[in-house]
Amino acid sequence: MLRQPILMLARSQRVKSLVSAMPVSSGIVANHVPGETTADAVRATSELQEDGLYVTLDYLGEDTTDAAQADATVAAYKELLAELAAQGLAAKAEVSVKLSAIGQFLPESAGFGGGHKIALENARDICRAARNAGTTVTLDMEDHTTTDSTLSILRELRKDFPETGAVLQAMLHRTEADCRALAHEGSRVRLCKGAYLEPEDVAFTDKTDIDKSYVRCLKVLMAGQGYPMIATHDPRMVQIASSLASRHGRSPGTYEFQMLYGIRPEEQRRLAAAGETMRVYIPYGTEWYGYLMRRLAEKPQNLTFFLRSLISK
Ligand code: FAD
């Protein structure tokens, strides 16, 4: 019931400026975001890797309409990748990139053929830096208005960087077909349920329908030739994925589990200890507002905790 209003607030600039004054170290933010700087991200990476976990790092930011901001995001990823390589952490750390943070929404007037092309070139730059560091990039998926543009950028990037991964959201009606198209050899696909507020004509809005779609998509990916990345905290989905792995003779390492930083950490360690590849998504940076609101929408029980942190700031 609260999911819709919280997700609407996620895009409110007024609420964002109010809430963003809260320090990243305050309770609820710190539970989901380890810090604002490259050093914070590298420290979190090192700690998780010591526990046998893999990571993917997201320099927070989205929906930018400022070319300088997009350039700064690219620079932040390059700095991070160089630091991961320097510290010997890159083999078990990749990066996750939101195309709207690196220019997808820039207008035609920004030059270079507009937002789609700018995002493609910026993503190419990050993929090159990732390859130099010895690792890979996964393109996060945002709301359904960006899906075609994101998948088209993925196709372009994969010509030079075939290791680039994509994210598909089970809540969208189109996703089962997208899974079929991307279940080929060499294709890395992260399957998640979907975190955005979507209209009924393009998405399942009922939780049971989203879960059923997740299972259908999982079946396609696990039966396929690609590398499925199973991104969920849902114990049922983890169990179904494990059964599908056995059914298709997939050993750990031919697929992986993914969960978000700070969510079900004991389960993350349990799966890693059981021999599974378990990757933790680490968001970092100052632009944590939209990310935090999406997490609150998934677990409105945390709202009281969140409001208390706001009042005591
Ligand atoms: P839910 O249906 O939210 O929860 C199912 C069950 O999981 C709950 O009943 C509970 O048992 C357990 N659970 C869930 N949350 C918690 C919690 N906070 N604490 C304890 N137990 C919990 N979305 C996008 O739209 N685009 C992306 O690019 C994207 N990338 C992602 C990357 C990763 C690695 C992950 C894990 C998620 C990503 N998401 C992305 C978010 C995703 O779409 C979901 O919104 C989010 O993962 C919640 O869905 P769920 O599968 O965990 O299940």
Greater confidence (141 vs 300) lies with 141
Å from CA of 282 to ligand 1 middle: 14
The reported pLDDT for the residue numbered 276 is 98
Full DSSP string of 22-60: S-TTSHHHHHH---SSHHHHHHHHHHHHHTT-EEEEEE-
Contacts of 79 (CB under 8 A, 6+ apart): 38
Which residues are the active-site residues?
140, 190
Å from CA of 232 to ligand 1 middle: 5
| Integer Cα distance of 105 and 143 in angstroms | 12
What residue's CA is closest to ligand 1, atom 36? 259
| Integer Cα distance of 36 and 131 in angstroms | 24
193 close to ligand 1 (CB < 6 Angstrom): yes
Q: How many CB atoms lie within 10 A of CB 25?
A: 11
Q: How many CB atoms lie within 10 A of CB 275?
A: 11
Q: Where are the domains of the chain?
A: 1-33+288-313, 34-287
List the Cα angle 197/203/205 in 5-degree steps: 65
What residue's CA is closest to ligand 1, atom 2? 234
List the Cα angle 28/29/33 in 5-degree steps: 130
Q: Which of 63, 141, 298 to mutate to test the pocket of ligand 1 (most atoms within 8 A of CB)?
A: 298
234 close to ligand 1 (CB < 6 Angstrom): yes
This prediction's pTM: 0.95
Q: How many CB atoms lie within 10 A of CB 265?
A: 14
**Binding-site annotation: residue ranges for FAD:** 141, 169, 193-195, 207, 232-233
| Integer Cα distance of 216 and 205 in angstroms | 16
Say yes or no to pLDDT of 160 above 70. yes
Which pLDDT band holds residue 26 (cuts at 50, 70, 90)? low
**CATH architecture for the domain at 34-287:** Alpha-Beta Barrel (3.20)
| Integer Cα distance of 289 and 18 in angstroms | 10
Q: For residue range 250-309, list pLDDT tens digits in order.
A: 999 999 999 999 999 999 999 999 999 999 999 999 998 889 989 988 987 887 777 777
Q: Which ligand 1 atom is the nearest neighbour of the CA of 260? A: 36
The reported pLDDT for the residue numbered 24 is 64
What residue's CA is closest to ligand 1, atom 45? 195
Do residues 219 and 252 touch, judged by C-beta distance below 8 A? no
282 close to ligand 1 (CB < 6 Angstrom): no
What residue's CA is closest to ligand 1, atom 39? 192
Which pLDDT band holds residue 313 (cuts at 50, 70, 90)? low
The reported pLDDT for the residue numbered 311 is 65
Torsion sign (Cα): 86, 87, 91, 92: negative
Q: For residue range 205-255, list pLDDT tens digits in order.
A: 999 999 999 999 999 999 999 999 999 999 999 999 999 999 999 999 999
In this prediction the ipTM stands at: 0.98
